[in-house]
Amino acid sequence: MKFTDDQIADIGEEIIRILKTVYDPEIPVDIYELGLIYDVQISEEADVKIIMTLTTPNCPVAETLPQEVKDKVKAVENVNEVDLELTFEPSWNKDMMSEEAKFELGML
């Protein structure tokens, strides 16, 4: 089944809403505002590819956080398959955080 651009946009908005419910255990800010999500691609068939990173390669949730992201995105209505790619290029740094995240952490 192929989705329209509007339907794909709606799916994308729902994915971002879900991503904002996933938190880094060491920083009280969600992974989307932290800038850990580098890219979300959605095909016409609603296959989703997420490219994300972690704050550090030896992050204590390196095993569980990507799986949590994948499971939550897969649960979004109409999402077909979810492919999650974990990358450390470019490596995450504080400049990738949103203004909201920086404010939350008292960095502004």
Other C-beta atoms within 10 Å of 93: how many? 9
pTM: 0.92
Q: Provide DSSP, 1-38.
A: -PPPHHHHHHHHHHHHHHHTT-B-TTSSSBHHHHT-EE
Split at pLDDT 50, 70, 90, the class of 49 is: very high
How do 48-52 and 37-42 pair as beta strands? Answer: antiparallel
Structural domains of the chain, with CATH: 3-100 (3.30.300.130)
Give the model confidence (pLDDT) of 67-91 as tens digits.
Answer: 999 999 999 999 999 999 999 999 9
User: Which residues, including other chains, have CB under 8 Å from residue 27's CB and lie 6 or more apart?
Assistant: 34, 55, 105
